[in-house]
Amino acid sequence: MVGEWERATVLELQKRGVILVEDGNHGEYRPRPNEFVTDGVAFIRAADIDNGQVVFDSASKINDIARQRITKGIGAPGDVLLSHKGTVGKVALVSDSAPAFVCSPQTTFWRTLNPAVFDRRYLHAFLRSPAFHRQLDTRAGETDMAPYVSLTSQRGLFVTLPPIRIQKAIGIILGALDDKIELNRRMNRTLEAMARAIFKSWFVDFDPVRAKAAVRREHPKWTDEKVSSAACPDLKPDLAALFPEAFVDSEQGGIPKGWRVIGLNETGTFLNGLALQKYPPGDGDSLPVIKIAQLRKGSTDGADKASGEIDSAYIVEDGDVLFSWSGSLECVLWTGGRGALNQHLFKVTSDRFSKWFYYLWIHEHLASFRHIAAGKATTMGHIQRHHLADAKVVVPPVPLLARADRLIGPLIDATVSRCLECQHLAGLRDALLPKLISGELGVPNAERIAGRVS
């Protein structure tokens, strides 16, 4: 029964050899600036924990000299990492295939030493539970510094330990949802990478046109069909035939014959949001306000509310393309739920081009837009509307656009669908987690609920 579940402090469990909780080295043992290298042992900070994962690829790396000097916080596969300084409360389960890493002074590893008493996936679940975070919150403000929960304070926190069979069941149920979410995210990265690769090859680098032009120069008497077959063996003949064999001069330099150049602003309507923070509170229906902060985290959790009548044009729905022209310039396929568009954000729509076309062209120009914004002598760098007109887009004839739409469109649409599924699965997981950890919901009932969704 729930009343019989053990409750003990981390320190008590550590003395019994059940768990080890340790953070990274401080002081003289920390890596020095000249010991950070391109290829080495990952040095995990709070910023390297994202969406419940440890992002090893972008983490800083240290050399062997620094690694040999470090005596604490040496991580291992299966550890659960917790950020405890600055940003308190990020949690991630380290995969079994993780590379070598050490914790920085901002992160702590929690390691189960006796799997017969403490299951690591249950530990991962427990550290994400509201009950645990309430404990963290009471400790995070104990100093006048930035939020910080010391190693000593962490070892004074309480952990609830159900019987191991229940721990394992909870870990499996929540872990299955986590695994499905992560699989969807990996699939989305693959699908968008495919869409971007096709788009860049066809409409930015003009690879099929260049290949056909090269074959035509070598074989001027070949038929168009033979040129297409030789130059574009990976494309179906009717698709390859839609690409021309020559270039013409334009304001953008050489572009495929029969194609045209327009400004990015002509691909659609770039609707700037409203100054919604000025809307008065009301008792009627309200919408969360989507600002740059919401755009970046992909969620309206904790957002301000806008009440009153809002023109439907300024209402954001899942699947809309949002582009922040100020501050952190980002372009996303929004999946954070219905909301109201705030100023500093464009909602981009078009009755001339498919969503993938203007979405990917915005991304093609993002680097130059960010460069422009970085050069502004204002607190928040930004671009202006004339920059949208200055950014050029090359448009192929309608038949090729239609064929590309059949190939690239479903890839982009699928990423939106999977993101929405991730939102649903995460909501279910977050609803089940506290009920399972507290014993309010029995494992069989949770299994039935998660099984139906999966």
Supply angle C-alpha 7, 123, 156, rounded to 5. 50
End-to-end CA distance of the chain: 28
Residue range 51-90, pLDDT digits in tens: 889 999 999 999 999 999 999 999 999 999 999 998 899 9
Residue linked to tokens 């427990």: 126
Tell me the pairing of strands 321-324 and 345-349.
antiparallel
Asked whether residue 279 carries a pLDDT value surpassing 60, the answer given is no
Residue 350: predicted pLDDT: 97
Residue range 79-119, pLDDT digits in tens: 999 999 988 999 999 999 999 999 999 999 999 999 999 99
Residue 431: name the closest of 444, 417, 450 by CA. Answer: 450
Structural tokens at position 219: 């074989």
Least confident of 106-120, 186-200, 279-293: 279-293
Residues 375-383: contacts with CB within 8 Å, 24+ apart?
380/326, 380/327, 380/344, 381/326, 381/327, 381/329, 382/325, 382/326, 382/327, 382/344, 383/325, 383/326, 383/329
Pairwise CA distance, residues 453 & 77, whole Å: 29
Residue 205: predicted pLDDT: 97
E-strand stretches of 185-283: 247-250, 253-256, 260-263, 269-272
